[in-house]
Amino acid sequence: MKNGFENARRRSLPPQGVAEFKQAFGARFVTSDAVRAHHGRDESPYPACLPDAVVFPRDADEVAHAVRLCDRYRVPVIPFGAGSSLEGHVLPIEGGITLSMAEMNRIISLRPEDFTATVQPGVTRTQLNDALRDTGLFFPIDPGADASIGGMAATRASGTNAVRYGTMRENVVSLKVVTAKGEIVRTGSRARKSSAGYDLTRLFVGSEGTLGIIVEVTLRIHPRPEAVTAAVCNFPTLADAVQSVVEIMQSGIGIARIEFMDERAVGAVNRHSRLELAETPLLLFEFHGSASGVREQAEVVREITRDHGGSGFAWAENPEDRARLWAARHQSHFAGLQLRPGARSVATDVCVPISKLVDCVTQTVEDLKSAEFPFTIVGHVGDGNFHVQMLIDPDCEAQWRAAEAINHRLVHRAIGMEGTCSGEHGVGIHKMEFLKTEHGAAGLELMRLLKHAYDPHNIFNPGKVLAWDA
Amino acid sequence: MKNGFENARRRSLPPQGVAEFKQAFGARFVTSDAVRAHHGRDESPYPACLPDAVVFPRDADEVAHAVRLCDRYRVPVIPFGAGSSLEGHVLPIEGGITLSMAEMNRIISLRPEDFTATVQPGVTRTQLNDALRDTGLFFPIDPGADASIGGMAATRASGTNAVRYGTMRENVVSLKVVTAKGEIVRTGSRARKSSAGYDLTRLFVGSEGTLGIIVEVTLRIHPRPEAVTAAVCNFPTLADAVQSVVEIMQSGIGIARIEFMDERAVGAVNRHSRLELAETPLLLFEFHGSASGVREQAEVVREITRDHGGSGFAWAENPEDRARLWAARHQSHFAGLQLRPGARSVATDVCVPISKLVDCVTQTVEDLKSAEFPFTIVGHVGDGNFHVQMLIDPDCEAQWRAAEAINHRLVHRAIGMEGTCSGEHGVGIHKMEFLKTEHGAAGLELMRLLKHAYDPHNIFNPGKVLAWDA
């Protein structure tokens, strides 16, 4: 399968550089095939591409030292969290050193009184929520996988709670990053807001390791709502479900989660998670608030869904049922993969203004009728964001091309509707071709100026987000 | 009074440049003393400093043309909205061309179904809210003055509603900006979220005209809450009031507004707005939600304030009373100025984590005991942000120096508490000296790299935010 990077020039450490790394990191500088292979791919369909070595730093100073060495020898340096990225973000396509954040997994401080938590980048979202269990607070951002917080910041991730709580853009308070010179910069304070200069925090959120390495993340955490209820509702057609979402959002009730699954995705999670959901287009809701507030929200939603043929509005009031439902939703990526053993997933990720959502989804389903492979559709539809998961045979070039053609048309459809090619997965390798369409040549030029200013030797995760000479 | 920029080198258009501007803008290229003087100062205490000319563009293309001319002749170009900035942002300290946005005041589109509004930068916040009146939606960000939306985006402004609705950082969906090459870039789509490359939108929000000129703003607008109530509560001491705020925020009830006024500020607004508020430290609250939700929130707040000696918990349920109360709060800057006719205001703007707020305010009041000028304290305390308004005689250098010394100590106190020198006013000229303390030399270097990359000839509002060779 062609990636377009088979011919990328690899840039490797000279023997002197290898010696310096060994001296600094000892047994934490690893060149074994198994470890390199483990760090050579992600959840994208791209075949593996190995780094020259994997380094396991323990703190910001060690990352800074590694970056200084890589900068000196002009060798790529790629941060690696949980490896759950979907667009080839962590593939070292020009070789170089992968920095695994596996040993930078310490929770540095919890400050419930200020609604902040500070963690090393290798901490995962469930690890953080476990640590918050007794505080009455939680961290809401939940991509499907148990991703690392550093990776989530780097891709500007979101998930099912973004409707109410925002994405990593809104929930990163500040970062510590290592620059190309190997300096450690704190991008902001712990204040809730600031107008003190350029927003360096938001600049690194979503930069996918291409401008610097995130070595610490201070997050906003949220009070656990007094009451939570969840509900499931079935619809005769996809358009009915999506139209309901549009009206629910426009009602302004402040719902926490609205997730869509098509009948294929429901079938997949039924089999994977032993559920018995009716296999029709379906919406999952969650309401957060006071006991009465939650009841009020649910009543509005029940009325709107009824107007669109919604049926079987079923409650999941107790925590176990709710947890089971959301676990199933979170596992839908893996559940989908099991529809076709051995398949890899090409995932789309467009996000459109809510008023365009029905048209965008409907036209996409029409386009998918020609597909010769299984697919599912799920979506964080309260945000206007949905994913087609196309299950291709990784050895069949025709399927890969067909899936890419569908994605290509979908992205152009979404951009034509004032939307974006990526709601939450990021660009990685896979979406680079769309950035010029989305941002224009002048917009891409602003990004290129930034990349060249912050990474003059092109060492930070090269070949991702935008080409060096874009 | 010394500004530190009396000796700045002015860069003026050559006759050929003047001719080109005249040809392009005709009577909208203005060099009269009165118009230049009007654009030579803001609400800061700095004496006026005149541009060489004021240009009144009508659209993005005209701004692009003006910027290309300025870039060709290496002449400063300064955007000017309502002139309500507080830190000298709009003063053309190196001369050059001021671009008044007075004729770029058109509302381009309202899209209630997507919760977005697109406006030219000269539209003011009240103009936008008037236009939204029949849509059931509103734009919540409300600095005291009727600022322009472009200026609010440029300073990352907020106001009293930020506790619930966020600041301009969260409420700008995308921008159109003119780059130094005179190209027009759209920084993002109309989707609610995106992971498609670097966050150019957040990069220009808060950049104070130093990286490019904002020529269009797409904003997030919000459903008007079903129910709104406001309340006022008096406290025996400032510490009691502030401690109440901390506990209210920690209760997680989702309050919309919590504003603090000290007894001096209350006195000033009583006189200015003919109110009869008891002249003690006071909190103003506003609750947004459903009828029952609002009652629940208010009950929590009433209990917490009672525990801290709060008294006279008075309601303003009808819209007229509420409007009068908030108008008074919004006018507190001007009300304060009237405490001392002829005075100018030195305003502080620190923002600290909520757990540090009591200490920060208390220590500041202690420090102010030595002040030989009147002052008031007001604050968006739900965000940890408060302002000391120091009313100095603009002709008395000793008072200016004393006020600056108090501000200097306050900023260092706040930064020491993991806070910021500016919560919402921005840097302008006045806070440049603090950026190195707040961001460190390496952080400032990242900002400088950005400035040099985006504005190679230093034409965009030079001498603001950070020095060219910082």
| Residue range B9-36, pLDDT digits in tens | 899 999 999 999 999 999 999 999 999 9
Q: Are residues A192 and A264 in the same domain?
A: no
B9 within a domain of the structure (yes/no): no
Question: In this complex, do B199 and A156 lie within 8 Å of one another by their Cβ atoms?
Answer: yes
| Predicted local confidence at residue A56, as pLDDT | 98
Neighbours of A325 (CB within 10 A): 22
Question: Residues B175, B204: contact at Cβ < 8 Å?
Answer: yes
CATH of the domain at B283: 3.40.462.10
CATH of the domain at A79: 3.30.43.10
Q: Are residues B270 and B405 in the same domain?
A: yes
The band of A316, judged by pLDDT with boundaries at 50, 70 and 90, is: confident
Question: In this complex, do A198 and B179 lie within 8 Å of one another by their Cβ atoms?
Answer: no
Residue numbers of the domain that contains B145? 107-223
CA distance B462 to chain A (A): 14
CA distance B111 to chain A (A): 9
B294 within a domain of the structure (yes/no): yes
Q: Are residues B239 and B306 in the same domain?
A: yes
- Mutation target to probe the A interface, by most A beta carbons within 10 A, among B67, B132, B158, B198 is B198
Quickly tell me which residue has 């109360």 as its tokens.
Answer: B325
B458 within a domain of the structure (yes/no): no
Nearest residue of B to residue A456 by CA position?
B449
Q: Using CB atoms, which residue from B197, B431, B446 is nearest to A427?
A: B197
CA distance B261 to chain A (A): 20
DSSP-based three-state secondary structure for B437:
helix
For chain B, what is the domain count? 3
List the alpha helices (DSSP H) in B145-187.
149-155, 162-165, 168-171
| Predicted local confidence at residue B197, as pLDDT | 98
Q: Which of A311, A96, A335 is nearest to A209 (CA)?
A: A96
CATH of the domain at A329: 3.30.70.2190
Q: Are residues B155 and B260 in the same domain?
A: no
Contacts with A202 from chain B: Cβ below 8 Å: 169, 199, 202-203
Contacts with A425 from chain B: Cβ below 8 Å: 195
Question: Residues A53, A36: contact at Cβ < 8 Å?
Answer: yes
Last residue of a domain, one of A49, A72, A103: A103
Which residues does chain B have with pLDDT short of 50?
Answer: 1
Q: Are residues A143 and A98 in the same domain?
A: no
Contacts with A169 from chain B: Cβ below 8 Å: 193, 199, 202
The band of A4, judged by pLDDT with boundaries at 50, 70 and 90, is: low
pLDDT greater than 90 at residue A319? no
Question: In this complex, do B197 and A465 lie within 8 Å of one another by their Cβ atoms?
Answer: yes
Q: Any idea of the CA torsion for A26, A27, A28, A33, to the nearest 10 degrees?
A: 130
Last residue of a domain, one of B199, B223, B247: B223
Last residue of a domain, one of B83, B103, B123: B103
Neighbours of B452 (CB within 10 A): 14
DSSP-based three-state secondary structure for B287:
strand
DSSP-based three-state secondary structure for A19:
helix
| Predicted local confidence at residue B1, as pLDDT | 47
Question: In this complex, do B186 and A419 lie within 8 Å of one another by their Cβ atoms?
Answer: no
* B288-298 as b/e: b if 16+ CB within 10 A: bbbebbbebbb
Quote the CA–CA distance of B128 and B111 in Å, as a whole number: 13
Q: Are residues B182 and B42 in the same domain?
A: no
| Predicted local confidence at residue B5, as pLDDT | 67
- What would the two tokens of residue B296 be? 């629940």
| Predicted local confidence at residue B127, as pLDDT | 98
- A–B: how many Cβ contacts below 8 A? 282
Bridge pairing between strands B222-223 and B184-186: unpaired
Contacts with A292 from chain B: Cβ below 8 Å: 292-293, 296
A249 within a domain of the structure (yes/no): yes
Contacts with A183 from chain B: Cβ below 8 Å: 442, 445
- Mutation target to probe the B interface, by most B beta carbons within 10 A, among A138, A194, A417, A451 is A194
Question: Residues A86, A407: contact at Cβ < 8 Å?
Answer: no
Q: Are residues A124 and A166 in the same domain?
A: yes
Residues in chain B, overall count: 470
Q: Are residues A117 and A216 in the same domain?
A: yes
Mean pLDDT, range A453-457, rounded to an integer:
98
Neighbours of B406 (CB within 10 A): 21
Q: Are residues A303 and A236 in the same domain?
A: yes
Question: In this complex, do A443 and B200 lie within 8 Å of one another by their Cβ atoms?
Answer: yes
A452 within a domain of the structure (yes/no): no
Quote the CA–CA distance of B242 and B260 in Å, as a whole number: 8
A91 within a domain of the structure (yes/no): yes
Q: Are residues B166 and B201 in the same domain?
A: yes
Neighbours of B468 (CB within 10 A): 11
Question: In this complex, do A351 and B193 lie within 8 Å of one another by their Cβ atoms?
Answer: yes
- Mutation target to probe the B interface, by most B beta carbons within 10 A, among A61, A176, A193, A380 is A193
Q: Are residues B214 and B230 in the same domain?
A: no
B465 within a domain of the structure (yes/no): no
The band of A325, judged by pLDDT with boundaries at 50, 70 and 90, is: confident
Q: Are residues A42 and A87 in the same domain?
A: yes
Quote the CA–CA distance of B177 and B204 in Å, as a whole number: 8
Q: What angle do CA B177, B180, B184 make, to 5 degrees?
A: 35
CATH of the domain at A218: 3.30.465.10
B462 within a domain of the structure (yes/no): no
